[in-house]
């Protein structure tokens, strides 16, 4: 069931985006208003102070008559004009100017102050200065026009905020729907995959954004899962094919033994043959388990420093009696310490499989050599023999599970040895190669340092 729109994660993100957009816009518009207001007020105050100082200077040079003339010329008959002047006595009685009443509480000083202009709702800003002869001069500006300008600015800002709000909501919905649309496609494909359609993949756009990265990673994961499942199906078929014969033989022997007369010797022989077949079946399952562990990557948690030279020595000591018994010369070229990071038991099992194959297929009198070769970034463990080698057209298939060359089907074995070697190599970030040793076969297990 789909979540309601109010509970949708995308809707919540779009709402948060819109709120942040609006709050940011308000902050910007408020800052612009404050900056404009402060700038305009500073300009008015500077003009008032400059004019007050100019009139004060003229008074000191030309006297009160000159000031009255100037005020009469600059003033209008109404106090609501843009410029305000008042020349008053010490007792604040009107002498000249367009303002008849001295503002209450207004004293001379350097500060420009704001006050109501008579009984009207308009405000004014003015500065009072003391003149000789006990006179006082008030110079100011009517803020009516400034207030109208501020109102226009506020209206424009509200309009801009309204437009910003609409754009923010539209942008939030657009982004939300776009993200929701892409997530919906991923969800639809996920549902199809859960239903069993493993051919479906996540859509990847051309933008190279985070959703594309997510889709590519999911697709790689699905490719890996599909490959593993295909491998499991293949392994299941191969197991059923390869185990059918030994299990059928077990069943047949047991049935034949049950049909014969009581004969302890016959029963004993049947049991011994049954044990051999059971051991072969167990070896197949153990090999498959080791391959599965290596391919799963779980064994990386057990990685440690492994000395390949010591490990090779231990494995060679184990197989040397078997090699001697079959008339083979087993030679190990020790190179001293050769450390890599890895899982020691799986590395030893990989080398054991290579030696087991060599001992199995190299004829008596042959030679098997184990040596280590180090490069700048890798350690290579080589097993080389002078046996019949391996056909070139079979080498690509040699690493497949239960894959066996035509000439080796009569020999004991399950066809899983090289599959395990390759799985171990990939677990360690390395690779395994098969080369013609002329004569014989050279197998190289290459491990990164």
pLDDT of res. 81: 56
Burial class (CB in 10 A: 0-12, 13-18, 19+), 396: exposed
pLDDT: is 290 or 430 the higher one?
430
Dist CA 320 CA 310 (whole Å): 15
Q: What pLDDT does 379 receive?
A: 92
Percentage with pLDDT > 90 across the chain: 17
CATH 3.30.450 boundaries in the chain: 5-149
Ranges in the chain annotated CATH 3.30.565.10: 300-448
Which residue is listed with tokens 């776009």?
Answer: 178
Model's pTM, two decimal places?
A: 0.51
Per-residue pLDDT band for 10 (boundaries 50, 70, 90) equals: low
Cα-based distances in Å from 339 to 29, 308, 309, 428: 67, 6, 8, 13
Q: Which CATH architecture has domain 300-448?
A: 2-Layer Sandwich (3.30)
Q: Identify the burial level of 435 via C-beta atoms within 10 angstroms of its C-beta, where 0-12 means exposed, 13-18 middle and 19 or more buried.
A: middle
Q: According to the CATH classification, is domain 5-149 in 3.30.450? A: yes
Q: What's the pLDDT tens digit per position in 191-220?
A: 888 887 877 888 887 777 787 888 888 888
Cα–Cα distance for residue pair 389/361, rounded to 1 Å: 9
DSSP letters along 171-213, please? HHHHHHHHHHHHHHHHHHHHHHHHTT-TT------SS--HHHH
Give the confidence band of 309 by pLDDT, cuts at 50, 70, 90. very high
Q: What is the pLDDT of residue 47?
A: 87
Q: Is 350 exposed, middle or buried (0-12, 13-18, 19+ CB in 10 A)?
A: buried
Lowest mean pLDDT among 49-58, 69-78, 266-275: 69-78
Under the banding of pLDDT at 50, 70 and 90, the label for residue 284 is: confident
Residue 297 has pLDDT above 80, yes or no: no
Question: What pLDDT band is residue 274 in, cutting at 50, 70 and 90?
Answer: confident
pLDDT of residue 371: 92
pLDDT in tens, 355-381: 998 998 899 999 999 999 988 889 999
Q: What is the mean pLDDT of the chain?
A: 81
Could you write out the DSSP letters of every residue in 212-273?
A: HHHHHHHHHHHHHHHHHHHHHHHHHHHHHHHHHHHHHHHHHHHHHHHHS---HHHHHHHHHH
Amino acid 397: pLDDT: 83
Higher pLDDT, 107 or 421: 421
CATH topology of domain 210-293: Helix Hairpins (1.10.287)
pLDDT for residue 382: 93
Residues of the chain with CATH 1.10.287: 210-293
């Amino acid at each position: 069931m789909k979540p309601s729109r109010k509970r949708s994660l995308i809707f919540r993100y779009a709402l948060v985006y819109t709120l942040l957009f609006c709050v940011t816009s308000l902050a910007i518009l408020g800052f612009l208003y404050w900056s404009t207001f402060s700038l305009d007020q500073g300009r008015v105050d500077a003009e008032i102070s400059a004019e007050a100082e100019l009139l004060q200077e003229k008074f000191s040079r030309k006297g009160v008559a000159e000031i009255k003339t100037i005020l009469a010329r600059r003033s209008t008959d109404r106090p609501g004009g843009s410029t305000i002047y008042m020349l008053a006595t010490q007792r604040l009685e009107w002498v000249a100017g367009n303002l008849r009443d001295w503002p209450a509480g207004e004293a001379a000083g350097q500060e420009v102050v704001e006050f109501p202009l008579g009984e009207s709702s308009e405000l004014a800003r003015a500065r009072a200065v003391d003149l000789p002869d006990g006179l006082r001069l008030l110079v100011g500006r009517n803020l009516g026009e400034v207030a109208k300008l501020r109102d226009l600015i506020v209206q424009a800002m509200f309009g801009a905020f309204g437009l910003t709000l609409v754009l923010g909501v539209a942008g939030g919905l657009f982004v939300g729907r776009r993200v929701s649309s892409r997530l919906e496609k991923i969800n639809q494909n996920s549902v199809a995959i859960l239903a069993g359609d493993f051919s479906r993949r996540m859509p990847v756009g051309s933008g190279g954004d985070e959703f594309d990265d997510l889709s590519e990673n999911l697709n790689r994961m699905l490719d890996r899962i599909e490959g593993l499942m295909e491998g499991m199906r293949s392994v299941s078929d191969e197991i059923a094919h390869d185990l059918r014969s030994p299990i059928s033989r077990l069943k047949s022997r047991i049935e034949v033994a049950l049909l014969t007369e009581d004969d302890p010797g016959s029963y004993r022989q049947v049991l011994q043959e049954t044990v051999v077949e059971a051991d072969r079946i167990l070896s197949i399952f153990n090999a498959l388990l080791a391959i599965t562990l290596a391919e799963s990557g779980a064994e990386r948690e057990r990685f440690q420093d492994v000395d390949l030279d010591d490990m090779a020595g231990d494995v060679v000591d184990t197989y040397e009696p078997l090699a001697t018994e079959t008339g083979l010369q087993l030679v190990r070229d020790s190179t001293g310490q050769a450390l890599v990071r890895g899982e020691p038991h799986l590395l030893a099992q990989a080398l054991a499989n290579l030696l087991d194959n060599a001992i199995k297929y190299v004829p008596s009198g042959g030679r098997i050599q184990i040596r280590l070769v180090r490069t700048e970034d890798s350690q290579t463990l080589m097993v080389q023999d002078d046996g019949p080698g391996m056909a070139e057209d079979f080498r690509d298939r040699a690493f497949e599970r239960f894959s066996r060359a035509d000439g080796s089907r009569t020999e004991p074995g399950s066809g899983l040895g090289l599959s395990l070697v390759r799985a171990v190599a990939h677990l360690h970030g390395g690779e395994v190669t098969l080369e013609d040793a002329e004569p014989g076969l050279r197998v190289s297990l290459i491990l990164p340092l």
